[in-house]
A = this chain, B = another copy of it.
Amino acid sequence: MVTGKFNSLKHTGMLETIFNHRSIRKYKSDPIDDLIMNKIVEAGTRASTTGNMQVYSMVITRDERIREKLWMAHFRQDMVLQAPVHITFCADFNRFNKWCLQRNARPGYDNFLSFFTAAIDALLVSQNVVLAAEAHGLGICYLGTVIYMADRIAEILELPVAVVPVAAIVMGYPDEIPEMTDRLPLKGVIHKEKYSDYSAEAINEIYAGKEALELTAQLLKENNKETLAQVFTDNRYPRKDNVHFSNRFLRLIENQGFMNNEE
């Protein structure tokens, strides 16, 4: 099933948008028209949602002072100050719970399954929003820091119990056209019928292209490392940080009331 013959298929408008995606890190200050913003967030709501419960919220921040606080939380990445719009996608059972209580129904959504269900909802919404924005000529960048700093972001945005941020993007008109990012060969990420575990040779083959990139040579030099994998394990995503942020994020999930799992 895996071949290299993709180029013979013509892109439709939809596929063009998907295949042209790149993360934008430099933005013009031009504002985004309200009608366009509405269309983009409405596109978000057309994503599949568990039981049509729509257990998510989008917090759209344009105010400079709040964006400055978000910028500090997001490790002071310049693009957070530059891009005119910041959207935080939240797993949200607060609205649904309130509705249940007002309708003589007892919500049982204070557990991990409910958190994860709501997180899935919010993430599918986010990807629809991203693609709808790009179809309008806008650029976006996901901020992975939203998970590391979810507790601080919950404070800044005044998120109540039963609401946890799970994705964040900046959005605006691009002031750069970066190169497309490399990807592993398709056969590296798909499995036919069942999962087929990777042999040492398969791993070598899958990562060969990435390891041969000029960008990799540059990263090894900058980070003074022998292998690209060491750049990830020692510098970019070291165990110590991962464990620290794991506990902070789990604590937030618990504090927001999603860890009452006693049967």
Using a Cβ–Cβ cut-off of 8 Å, how many residues does chain A contribute to the interface with B? 135
Which of B35, B98, B104 makes the CB contact (< 8 A) with A227? B104
Residues 33-56 of chain A, each 1 if its beta carbon lies under 8 Å from chain B, else 0: 011111101110111101111101
Which of B8, B48, B113 makes the CB contact (< 8 A) with A142? B48
Which of B1, B113, B131 makes the CB contact (< 8 A) with A245? B113
Asked whether A116 lies within 8 Å of B249 as measured between CB atoms, the reply is yes
Main secondary structure of the interface of A (DSSP, over half): helix
Return A229 CB to nearest CB of chain B, in Å. Answer: 4
Known A58-B189, A95-B203, A103-B226; further 13 A-B contacts with Cβ < 8 A? A1-B37, A12-B135, A18-B43, A18-B46, A54-B183, A57-B189, A59-B193, A102-B203, A108-B243, A156-B194, A157-B191, A247-B263, A250-B261
Residues of A within 8 A of B (CB): 1-3, 5-6, 8-9, 12-19, 21, 23, 34-39, 41-43, 45-48, 50-54, 56-63, 66, 90, 94-96, 98-100, 102-109, 111-114, 116-117, 119-120, 123-124, 126-128, 130-132, 134-135, 141-142, 144, 147-148, 156-160, 163, 166-167, 181-184, 186, 188-195, 197-198, 200, 203-204, 206-207, 226-230, 232-234, 236-240, 242-247, 249-250, 260-263
